[in-house]
Amino acid sequence: ELTATALTQRDFFGFMTGGQNLEIKARPLKIDVKPLPSGAPGSFNGLVGDFSIVSELKADTLLTNEAFSYIISISGTGNIHNLSAPKLSFPPSFEEYGVQEGSSVNTDRDIISGSKRYEYVLVPRSPGEFDLPKVDLTYFDLNAGKYVTKSAGPIPIRIEQGKEASGGTGAIVSRGEVFRVGQDIRHISPDAKALNRGCLLYTSDAADE
């Protein structure tokens, strides 16, 4: 419903003067909101649209007490702003230093698209061969009219014993020392065996928490 003023008279010089209020009504807009169908998988958290998921790793062979990043990237169209960081279960000998989140969301008329990136900073304390966890992403595909689940990982990784255990000079990363890792990620799973070891950055003068 809209109220406007219409000018109806002209003065001596031809300019419009005076007027009256007119009430203009537009037709109501009806929206048909359909409920999501039943039978959603347990991994569904309300995501609707079309999405993809990728897991990334800086290297596939690392040393004990050396920080590295496991990165999950999700992109597509839909309500991506409602997405939260996946809850992952890492091997018991891995210490987790929180999740760093980055996002880019665009709105073009009635289409919302973008991406979210979750960086899990990890420090392995024991050598061995491990699998970084698989991540499932479930969403309702409007075009297909069904729930779709896409997965990334798992990524196999081999941890070698660091020099500090054999009398070397390598520093042991402790809480408070991790500064930043995961910049300039060069490789994407699942071909983890083809990855080369990269440079990981951490501070050496922070106090242990």
pLDDT, position 59: 74
**Among 89, 76, 12, CA closest to 49:** 76
Cβ–Cβ under 8 Å, residues 93 and 206: no
Task: Using 50 as the pLDDT threshold, list the residues of the chain that sit under it.
Answer: 165-170, 179-209
- Secondary structure (3-state) at 66: coil
**Among 165, 157, 31, CA closest to 90:** 157
Q: Is the bond into 190 cis (omega within 30 degrees of 0)? A: yes
pLDDT, position 178: 56
pLDDT, position 90: 96
pLDDT, position 177: 55
pLDDT, position 6: 54
pLDDT, position 163: 80
